[in-house]
Amino acid sequence: MTTPSKPSAATAGRDAAIVETATAWFVRMTSDLVTAEDRRAFREWCERDPAHPAAYAEAAALWSELGAIPDPRQRPGARGGAPAATAAARPAGRPSRRPWLRRFGALAAGLLLAAVLGLWSLGGYERLAADYATAVGERLRVTLADGSVLHLNTDTALAVDVTAEHRRVRLYRGEAYFAVAPDRNRPFEVEAADGIARAVGTAFDVRRDGEAVTVAVAEGRVEVRRNGPPKPPGESVLLGPGEGLHYTAGAPSARRRVDVNSLTAWRQGRLVFADRPLRAVVAELDRYRPGAIVFLTSAIAEERFSGVVSLADTDQALAAIESTLPVDVIRLTGYLTVLRARN
């Protein structure tokens, strides 16, 4: 059996350019505003290279698949559709692509609306209230007046309150690693959701995703105290090196052993995945990239992936996924990447 050779960088770049151009042509040719000049130019483009019409057909197939994604704004059984005037105005005999375009447009609008609302509810106020914040893909190192060092991961916002009497940090969102300067008279406290991680001199990581929080201890000991139910007031958990605690507001805590070096490899600009399901890998990569990575084929989300990824170029991670798993990675725009099962 002969193993096919991998395309060169030049060939891969040419293929990517053809796919991008084919997608642009597809959008233009299925528009109601297409002109006779557009059709002439499109015919010339197709005749220029046999790869062009093949790429166009691939773009049409992909967008048709995307059109099968349901409108997230409509409940099952809800009535919807284009106005009757739109259907009546369509030329007779012309195949209609409007329904899937409408569905994809609704999906895009829903995602855009969610992003805008999320930017304010999870980012707008917090960025105003935060003393330090990072954008998506950005990391930041901060040294406080007491000598403690904070490492902020991607898309993180926190407020710092250090006085002669206390040292407090409020983590609004994201993840931070705390290398705490020893001071027995002023414990270092990190508040996240309904819990407070308290240390004197140690190193630990706190990650907050909404109301879900994970604390992982690298050095020393950290006491995690829950403020609300289900824990009674005053109850706490003491963590040592290599131990972690996961909790969600209003739910019980889960204590476990953790690989702190792997969890905090982002401080060295890396992500470490050891036999992780692809859905978890993609969710992690999504934290460091603008836009979204979407599964077009849900079954591939359970594929397993292992590897060390550089945060300097997350596209390399997607390339590694494509080369090691039966997955096609399709970049529609700089803000939307689609994963589907390879035929």
Q: What is the DSSP letter of 135?
A: -
Q: Nearest to residue 192, comparing CAs of 176, 48, 335?
A: 176
Mean pLDDT of 186-208: 94
Closest C-alpha to 160, from 185, 139, 122, 130: 130
The pLDDT score that the predictor gives to residue 307 is: 92
Note the pLDDT of residue 256: 95
Unique residue bearing structure tokens 């053809």? 18
Query: How confident is the model at residue 90, as a pLDDT?
Result: 34
Pick the residue with more confidence: 130 or 65?
130
- pLDDT higher for 337 or 234? 337
Q: What was the pLDDT predicted at 224?
A: 95
Confidence bin at 15 (pLDDT 50/70/90): low
E strands, 63-187, in order? 132-133, 140-143, 149-152, 157-162, 167-179
- For residue 129, the surrounding DSSP H or E stretch is helix 125-129
State pLDDT tens for residues 218-237: 999 999 998 766 666 657 89
Going along the chain from its start, the domains and CATH numbers come out as 132-260 (2.60.120.1440), 269-341 (3.55.50.30)
Mean pLDDT of the 300-327 span:
94
Whether 300 shows a pLDDT value over 70: the answer reads yes
Amino acid at 72: P
Mean residue pLDDT of the chain comes to: 79
Bridge partners (DSSP) of residue 195 are 192, 226
- CA-to-CA distance for 65 and 333, rounded, in angstroms? 17
The pLDDT value given to residue 297:
85
What pLDDT, in 10s, does the model give residues 151-192? 999 999 999 999 999 999 999 999 999 999 999 999 999 999
Query: What's the mean pLDDT in 116-127?
Result: 51
Q: What percent of the chain has pLDDT over 70?
A: 72
As given in the structure block, the two tokens for residue 342 are 């390879």
Share of the chain above pLDDT 90, in %: 51
Amino acid in the structure at residue 238: L
Residue with the bigger pLDDT between 152 and 336: it is 152
Helices vs. strands in the chain: H and E counts, helices first: 9, 18
Answer whether 153's CB lies under 8 Å from 134's CB.
yes
DSSP 91: P
Question: What is the per-residue pLDDT for 18?
Answer: 76
Which residue in 214, 141, 130 sits closest to 179, CA to CA? 141
Per-residue pLDDT, 122: 45
pLDDT band at 205 (very low <50, low <70, confident <90, very high): very high
Q: What is the pLDDT of residue 119?
A: 46
Please give the pLDDT value at position 126.
65
pLDDT single digits (tens) 62-121: 766 555 444 333 333 333 333 333 333 333 333 444 443 444 444 444 444 444 444 444
Report, as an integer, the average pLDDT of 11-24.
66
Calculate mean pLDDT across residues 129-157. Answer: 94
